[in-house]
């Protein structure tokens, strides 16, 4: 084992001989919603001592935890007039509304019959910042768009426009302009600056909308309007003139299209009809991924017993299970596991055959019920790994929560009943604790940052404590599989929250394939989407119940953990954090069908694959925007053991603080490296041209010139 992979020797990489380790996914367990919301602050498990050391705290492009984040962050609501505001912090496009920028790939062509007839609109791919600076009026269908109205995406249409509206920016002060609402986004444009100030917010980002000030109570300027609370760590406030009577119209349109599920309207993803060169829906095929890992083999088989989702409606149609277990055994085990989520294979080590399987809690209850079939099934999983006569059951919950779940019919495995099994609790708190932690973090980061008390305020949120617990638990799983060659069963309550975090992160550490762009997409499709993480409930897609107790930033925590690992191993990932930011922006946007609904079954019933576009279509069609020039393909055969102690973790301020224009970001290393590679390529091309020129003239030159040419080419 050798240390490396990150600047400052921040983590350990274990070299692995032979081909890249395979991977596979399976079901998950750990319903967080069934636990008490009164759990205290995070007290997650310590990282494995053999993989943590004290050498080096530095990291390229980041600053120590004690440094206020203003030296890092770039603004999306810039202080200077040259910047634009946007809700999308991703590489969604390369053109402004007028014409494609130099060097940009051709945008996808629209397949929507109702799309704009304007050439501008056909060239308008989703851009990071909507630019509507053209002084011309533009035609959209049969109507003429004014310069202060947005150019529309294929399938988008204007719902209403309010003029003389003031955006109360918390950083640069009030700005008067035009507020437009479409069936996809809110768009504000102010001509008071040069170039005009613009702000765009996909309506899927909106959590709640409140009216501010009444007709009879408002006296001060800008005291009458609406406030919009967003899911991406920001709030927006717009002031209306009472005499214009525009607030009611804007509020009604926003409520209708920000919460389509509550108004029986389709998500915009079903109306968006852009065409991309790549079809992201074909990226993940479960049997192909299992075969990549070497299945089926003598110990594991592939079954379609759940093809009609009859055994478990929240599991995928295809499972990998122990070959020794019959279909009748699977049905019996399903009756003893919460929601029918039985232990199914997620990943198998290509050499030792040690596995990661995921499931839900056993239905032990206060009476301590047992299931001989379930006990035998766990034994089959252990026996499938000939190199170990022990199996670890990693319960993501704190012990006290697991015990409390017995009163609700759940619980955890009794080591006396499960021979050769050891149960370990990873002390990761439930969805309610995580939701409250993020709320506190939002108060610390938006709109203003108290630099004098930054560290104490950040500590009080316990956000990094929770990140540490998730990373430490994932590292423990990866260590058992890689170093001890022992199989691990992972669950929490229902297996669709913390379980997905743990299995996906452990697989990311163990298998370099998942650290490529396509492999990372497969990992999310497999461990999160197919195994039923409840995206609709956790994010609240399209519904107006902002106080719903099922909402929680579980997937956000996972992406944050991925970023923490990337910091420590900047050469081990084919992609940059731009891909992570794109994922999170479209987690909320409802522009693509990828994250809609709660399970594979629901997506199939809603015909998501045939009626919407996959987020991976965007990513695969613009691969160069996400590629990491520092990536070393040789690391694909390495195991990553990140350091998980608190002093090695950082707040991901490029995400959490990105709306603050004072958070100036240093140029990322990979951007500068790309520029240098481009310059180097141009110089090498010029050298080749000069050599050919000299070679062509060699028969006509003097011996002295030939000698110079020879010396130059040595």
Which residues are tagged catalytic? Answer: 492
With beta carbons less than 8 A apart as the criterion, state whether 541 and 551 touch.
Answer: no
For residue 520, give both structure tokens. Answer: 């990372």
With beta carbons less than 8 A apart as the criterion, state whether 519 and 292 touch.
Answer: no
Cα(668)–Cα(688) distance, rounded to whole angstroms? 31
Whether the bond into 447 is cis, omega within 30 of 0: yes
Closest CA to 323 of 360, 286, 392, 377: 377
* Four-residue CA torsion sign, 436, 441, 447, 448: positive
- Phi, psi of 45, rounded to the nearest 5 degrees: -65, 150
Cα(297)–Cα(301) distance, rounded to whole angstroms? 7
| DSSP conformation letters of 143-158 | EEEPTTSPPPPTT--E
Q: Which helix (H) or strand (E) holds 379?
A: helix 372-383
Cα(90)–Cα(493) distance, rounded to whole angstroms? 34
With beta carbons less than 8 A apart as the criterion, state whether 138 and 120 touch.
Answer: yes
Q: Which DSSP letter does residue 537 get?
A: I
Closest CA to 245 of 165, 147, 148, 169: 165
Contacts of 221 (CB under 8 A, 6+ apart): 239
Determine how many CB atoms are found less than 10 A away from the CB of residue 356: 29
Contacts of 543 (CB under 8 A, 6+ apart): 259, 261, 262
Closest CA to 590 of 655, 512, 536, 551: 536
């Amino acid at each position: 084992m050798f240390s490396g992979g990150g600047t400052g020797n921040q983590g350990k990489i274990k070299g692995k001989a032979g081909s890249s380790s395979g991977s596979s996914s399976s079901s998950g367990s750990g319903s967080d919603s069934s636990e008490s919301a009164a759990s205290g602050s995070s007290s997650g498990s310590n990282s494995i001592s053999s993989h943590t050391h004290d050498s080096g705290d530095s990291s390229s492009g980041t600053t120590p935890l004690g440094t206020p984040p203003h030296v890092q962050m770039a603004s999306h609501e810039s202080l200077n007039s040259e910047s634009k505001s946007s809700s999308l912090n991703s590489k969604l496009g390369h053109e402004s509304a007028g014409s494609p920028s130099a060097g940009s790939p051709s945008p996808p062509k629209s397949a929507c019959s109702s799309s704009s007839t304007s050439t501008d609109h056909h060239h308008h791919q989703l851009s990071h910042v909507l630019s509507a600076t053209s002084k011309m009026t533009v035609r959209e269908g049969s109507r003429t768009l004014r310069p202060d109205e947005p150019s529309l995406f294929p399938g988008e249409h204007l719902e209403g426009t309010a003029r003389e509206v003031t955006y109360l920016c918390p950083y640069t002060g009030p700005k008067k302009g035009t507020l437009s609402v479409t069936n996809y986004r809110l768009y504000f444009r102010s001509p008071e600056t040069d170039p005009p100030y613009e702000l765009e917010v996909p309506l899927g980002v909106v959590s709640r909308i409140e009216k501010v000030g009444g007709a009879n109570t408002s006296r001060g300027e800008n005291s009458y309007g609406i406030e919009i609370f967003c899911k991406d760590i920001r709030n927006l406030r717009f002031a209306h003139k009472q005499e214009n009577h525009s607030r009611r119209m804007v509020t009604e349109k926003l409520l209708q299209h920000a919460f389509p599920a509550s108004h029986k309207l389709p998500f915009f993803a079903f109306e968006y009809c852009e065409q991309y060169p790549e079809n992201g829906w074909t990226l993940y095929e479960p049997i192909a991924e299992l075969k990549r890992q070497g299945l089926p083999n003598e110990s594991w088989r592939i079954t379609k017993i759940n093809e009609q989702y009859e055994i478990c409606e929240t599991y995928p149609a295809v499972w990998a299970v122990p070959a020794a277990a019959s279909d009748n055994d699977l049905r019996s085990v399903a009756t003893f596991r919460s929601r029918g989520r039985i232990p199914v294979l997620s990943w198998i080590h290509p050499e030792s055959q040690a596995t990661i399987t995921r499931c839900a809690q056993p239905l032990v209850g206060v009476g301590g019920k047992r299931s001989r079939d379930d006990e035998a099934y766990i034994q089959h999983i252990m026996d499938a790994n000939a190199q170990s006569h022990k199996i670890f059951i990693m319960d993501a919950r704190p012990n006290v929560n697991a015990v409390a779940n017995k009163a609700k019919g759940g619980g955890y495995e009794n080591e006396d009943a499960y021979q050769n099994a050891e149960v370990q609790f990873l002390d990761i708190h439930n969805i309610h604790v995580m939701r409250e932690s993020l709320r506190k973090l939002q108060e610390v980061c938006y709109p203003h940052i108290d630099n004098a008390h930054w560290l104490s305020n950040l500590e009080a949120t316990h956000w990094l404590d929770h990140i540490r617990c998730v990373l430490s638990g994932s590292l423990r799983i990866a260590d058992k599989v890689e170093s001890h060659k022992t199989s691990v069963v992972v669950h929490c309550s229902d297996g669709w929250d913390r379980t997905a975090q743990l299995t996906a992160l452990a697989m990311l550490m163990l298998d370099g394939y998942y650290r490529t762009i396509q492999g990372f997409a497969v990992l999310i499709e497999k461990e999160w989407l197919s195994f039923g993480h409840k995206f609709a409930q956790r994010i609240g897609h399209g519904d107006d119940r902002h106080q719903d107790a099922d909402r929680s930033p579980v997937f956000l925590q996972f992406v944050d953990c991925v970023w923490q690992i990337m910091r420590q191993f900047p050469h081990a990932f084919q992609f940059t954090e731009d891909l992570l930011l794109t994922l999170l922006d479209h987690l909320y946007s409802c522009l693509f069908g990828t994250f809609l609904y709660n399970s594979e079954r629901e997506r199939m019933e809603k015909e998501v694959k045939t009626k919407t576009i996959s987020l991976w279509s965007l990513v695969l069609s613009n691969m160069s925007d996400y590629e990491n020039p520092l990536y070393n393909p040789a690391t694909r055969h390495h195991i990553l053991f990140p350091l998980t102690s608190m002093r090695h973790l950082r707040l991901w301020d490029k995400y959490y603080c990105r709306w603050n224009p004072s958070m100036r970001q240093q140029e990322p290393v990979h951007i500068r490296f790309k520029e240098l590679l481009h310059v180097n390529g141009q110089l090498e091309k010029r050298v080749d041209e000069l050599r050919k020129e000299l070679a062509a003239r060699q028969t006509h030159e003097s011996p002295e010139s030939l000698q110079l040419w020879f010396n130059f080419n040595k």
